[in-house]
Structure 1
Amino acid sequence: MSSSSQRSAIVDLGSNSVRLVVFEGVTRNPLPIFNEKVTLKLGRGLDATGRLNDEGVALAMDVLGRFHTVARAMGAEPFEVLATAAVRDASNGPDFVDAIRARMPGVPIRVLEGTEEADYAARGVLCGLPEANGLVADIGGGSLELIHVADGQYFEAVTTKLGVIRLHDRAKGSIERAAEIANELLAAVNWLPGMTGRPLYLVGGAFRALARLQIARTQYPLNLVHLFTLSEGEAREMADWVIASPRRTLEKLPGAPRKRLADAPFAAVVLRCLMERVRPSKVVFSVDGLREGWYMRHVASSVAELDPMTDLAAEMANRLARSASLAEPLVSWTAPLFRDETRTQKRLRELACMLSDIGSYDHPEYRAEQTYRRVMHGHGVGFDHSARAFIGLTLAVRYEVSMDSPLIEPSRQLLSRSEIERAVRLGLALRLAYTLCAGTKVLLDECRLLVEDGTLVLVLGARSVRAAGSAVRRRFERLAAAMQLECQVREE
């Protein structure tokens, strides 16, 4: 297979659930094309019996047989099974692995040590957040991995018996006792105090359940867990609310993760105890963890150094735009309008320019809507919510969205007034640029924008003058008005 059609698959066999993910291609942004999870609860009762749950073992045989059939039918290679804490710690773990090998002939099956599990979790977080600098906490049913990440790599790593199933069993369902156990185990991690004041990155299904509950409870405008971010105070209040809320209250929330509701209070206890020790600057939820870490290490190591946002923008432009070569000229063309921008703002402008023509093949009546939804809801490991909101609004304006449209309400809620103004300015500038050049560099080079003494100046070359009709004048005036400047057209 070529790199674009190659498929790879991983089975993540955890203490609570088993999941098959099939990835398409070899790209900087892992693209799952099949993702199926089944709850097994293999780790239920492990601390009391020392063995895997019998019902979970029986169900696992059927599920893994199906996963083997699916992955082979899809042509996935490499294809691997990774087992974590429950299988690692159970006395009947080796027999269980032998039974899996018989059910899945030819498939490598690895029982990860705690440090290996931490390695994959760290790589998963760094996949989407290569600039991450703080503490990764990856919670499963049987264990909690804690990893210090910085400068694109990880340093200290430890595994603890703080998985939600194991914690529930050890505490006999008592939240108070669970907090005592969590504090005792976390106190033994001697490097945790060094993480004080840094971001806390949360990975794992039970932590994701907390995010889903918070998103539903607060009617957050973007229903995406990945890179959902809370301040320390917001995260602390969320954890206290989950711990104190009866299950029936949680069940009434739209989209509540019902299979995770029993685990949620114990995940909240672990989070609360962690925050008391490290006082994070913020809490960031990541859906990228062990599986994405495996993908980046074994499948896509050749592209790991690429920036995930830039790589995705380039891929989308090559696939959806008329020409991907206009991005750099547009960055230069719009620069005079943003002389006060920060490094982060410049990066967002560059990404918006790269993506500025991805609606070109959509129906004209729906270009704004389709483009906005692509950016806001599309797959992309590196785009945080504010970046999506800014770029999405910019491109919607570029395609002439009505500013009072309900479509762009998420951007109105997620962005500050100044960020909205910048997005509108950039969107109007891009609209004007494409009207002038029809998506071609040769015509864009014929004109430029200047800001002089409170006036926005459009300088036109000979060919641009001939092409400049009423649409150009109208869009130029809208841009000047948005910037609260006078406008002037000048011929060269």
Structure 2
Amino acid sequence: MTRLAAVDCGTNSLRLLISEVRDGHVRDIYRGMEIVRLGQGVDATGEFDPEALERTRAVLERYVGIMKIERVEAVRMVATSATRDAGNREEFFAMTSRLLNQVAPSRGAEVISGEEEAQLSFAGAVSDLKELPGPYCVIDLGGGSTEFVVGTRDGEILGAHSSQMGCVRLTERIMRSDPPTSTEIEIAGDYVRERLSEVRAIVPISSATTFVGCAGTFTTLSALAQGLEAYEATAIHGSTLRFDALRVLCDDLLAKTSTQRAAHPVIHEGRADVISGGAVVVDGITTMIEEETDVHEIMISEKDILDGIIEQLARQRGELD
């Protein structure tokens, strides 16, 4: 029996997964998510805000305490879009190394490429969806970037791309009014279409038959679509959202203020002010899929890059074939 941990530090959230590997099987022990908004202002200033760094440090310190209690033997922490852009990132790296070394020998947070981020997200998202027809297209919509990866049932990657669009990036750069104005929504939509033209050129979207959406915007939209009164991961994982219903839901979110959104029990207060940016990205993605394929729905996965990291660690240690 081995216990492994994966930490994902994105633009908006800091997440932890602890899993136990026994006899070739992986079982979740703990999943945690906190909104730390590490990427706050990075798009404008090029540096981490000191308050954002402190929020991140406090949550990571708490995660380290949980890892110690659960007797974690190996941990990998990845840092994505915001960290690639920050000029004072060495301060962040030093902090993560100091904390993670209390659990196991660690280099601290690693900045991974968009392509590796996409591959890890793909491995995690499709880990228990193999009964569905492939190829799969996994779409991981984050705060600063959105990863697209198309791959086969046996894990062969046919194409991957990290696009510089996400719910925080669009909100801070374009959609600054609350609620966003029609002009802001139009400009954000144009920006998303430009980024998606790059995706179409790089990733074989038209070859995919099953589309899988993961990360907070997609999972929150699923909770809203199902009318859940509380966030239920088991109800969200594996759910399917039709594009026509998604567009109605996204339009409703765009019309609301962040205070109105935060009043809904399934919308995390730290996501309420940026999910409108995510809604614009989702609208663009669904339009692209319908233009490229005959698909009109997307499956939602609670599994993502964290699960991919755990699988990678387990294979490196010889715990999985």
TM-score with structure 2 length normalisation? 0.84
Match in the other structure for 1:195: 206
Amino acid across the alignment from 1:183: R
1:141-290 to structure 2, matched below 5 A, reads 141-153=143-155, 154-173=157-176, 174-189=184-199, 190-192=201-203, 194-195=205-206, 198-216=209-227, 224-247=235-258, 249-279=260-290, 280-290=295-305
Go from structure 1 to structure 2 and tell me whether the alpha carbon gap of 1:195 and 1:24 turns closer, same or farther (over 3 Å shift): same
Amino acid across the alignment from 2:136: G
Please tell me whether residue 41 in structure 1 is matched to residue 51 in structure 2.
no
Q: Are the equivalent residues in 2 in contact too, given 1:136–1:147 (CA < 8 A)?
A: yes
Larger strand share, 1 or 2: 2
Match in the other structure for 1:61: 57
DSSP-derived class of the 2:127 partner: helix
Q: Are the equivalent residues in 1 in contact too, given 2:16–2:30 (CA < 8 A)?
A: yes
Q: Are the equivalent residues in 1 in contact too, given 2:43–2:173 (CA < 8 A)?
A: yes
Residues in 1 aligned to 2:137 and 2:145: alpha-carbon distance in whole angstroms: 16
1:445-484 to structure 2, matched below 5 A, reads none
Residues in 2 aligned to 1:156 and 1:80: alpha-carbon distance in whole angstroms: 25
DSSP-derived class of the 1:20 partner: strand
Q: Are the equivalent residues in 2 in contact too, given 1:196–1:277 (CA < 8 A)?
A: no
- CA shift digits 1:22-58 (9 cap, x unpaired): 1123477642222222221111111111112221101
Larger helix share, 1 or 2: 1
Residues in 1 aligned to 2:185 and 2:14: alpha-carbon distance in whole angstroms: 26
Match in the other structure for 2:82: 86
Cα displacement (A) at 1:192? 4.9
Match in the other structure for 1:368: none
Q: What RMSD in Å do the two structures reach over aligned CA positions?
A: 2.8
Residues in 1 aligned to 2:79 and 2:11: alpha-carbon distance in whole angstroms: 9
Match in the other structure for 1:108: 107
**Higher RCO, 1 or 2 (CA under 8 Å, sep at least 6)?**
2
Residues in 2 aligned to 1:30 and 1:208: alpha-carbon distance in whole angstroms: 22
Q: Are the equivalent residues in 2 in contact too, given 1:10–1:22 (CA < 8 A)?
A: yes
Residues in 2 aligned to 1:177 and 1:262: alpha-carbon distance in whole angstroms: 18
Match in the other structure for 1:381: none
DSSP-derived class of the 2:120 partner: helix
Please tell me whether residue 16 in structure 1 is matched to residue 12 in structure 2.
yes
Task: Single out whichever of 223-232 and 181-190 deviates more from structure 2.
Answer: 223-232
Residues in 1 aligned to 2:319 and 2:73: alpha-carbon distance in whole angstroms: 18
- CA shift digits 1:96-127 (9 cap, x unpaired): 10232233323233221111111110101121
Cα displacement (A) at 1:288? 0.5
Q: Are the equivalent residues in 2 in contact too, given 1:193–1:278 (CA < 8 A)?
A: no
DSSP-derived class of the 2:217 partner: helix
Go from structure 1 to structure 2 and tell me whether the alpha carbon gap of 1:304 and 1:100 turns closer, same or farther (over 3 Å shift): closer
- CA shift digits 1:271-314 (9 cap, x unpaired): 11011112134211111000001112221587868xxxxxxxxx
Cα displacement (A) at 1:68? 2.1
Cα displacement (A) at 1:159? 0.5
Q: Are the equivalent residues in 1 in contact too, given 2:149–2:203 (CA < 8 A)?
A: no
Cα displacement (A) at 1:259? 2.6
Amino acid across the alignment from 2:19: F
Structure 2 stretches of 5 or more lacking a match?
177-183
Match in the other structure for 2:179: none
Residues in 2 aligned to 1:233 and 1:135: alpha-carbon distance in whole angstroms: 19
Amino acid across the alignment from 2:148: L
Residues in 1 aligned to 2:34 and 2:120: alpha-carbon distance in whole angstroms: 21
Q: How many residues were matched structurally?
A: 301
- Identity rate, percent: 25
1:360-399 to structure 2, matched below 5 A, reads none
Match in the other structure for 1:75: 71
Match in the other structure for 2:180: none
Q: Are the equivalent residues in 2 in contact too, given 1:19–1:37 (CA < 8 A)?
A: yes
Q: Are the equivalent residues in 1 in contact too, given 2:253–2:276 (CA < 8 A)?
A: yes
Go from structure 1 to structure 2 and tell me whether the alpha carbon gap of 1:217 and 1:50 turns closer, same or farther (over 3 Å shift): same
DSSP-derived class of the 1:158 partner: strand
Please tell me whether residue 292 in structure 1 is matched to residue 288 in structure 2.
no
Go from structure 1 to structure 2 and tell me whether the alpha carbon gap of 1:167 and 1:30 turns closer, same or farther (over 3 Å shift): farther
Match in the other structure for 2:181: none
Amino acid across the alignment from 1:43: G
Go from structure 1 to structure 2 and tell me whether the alpha carbon gap of 1:296 and 1:223 turns closer, same or farther (over 3 Å shift): closer
Go from structure 1 to structure 2 and tell me whether the alpha carbon gap of 1:215 and 1:287 turns closer, same or farther (over 3 Å shift): same
Q: Are the equivalent residues in 2 in contact too, given 1:44–1:53 (CA < 8 A)?
A: yes
Structure 1 stretches of 5 or more lacking a match?
306-492
Residues in 2 aligned to 1:251 and 1:89: alpha-carbon distance in whole angstroms: 29
Q: Are the equivalent residues in 2 in contact too, given 1:127–1:296 (CA < 8 A)?
A: no
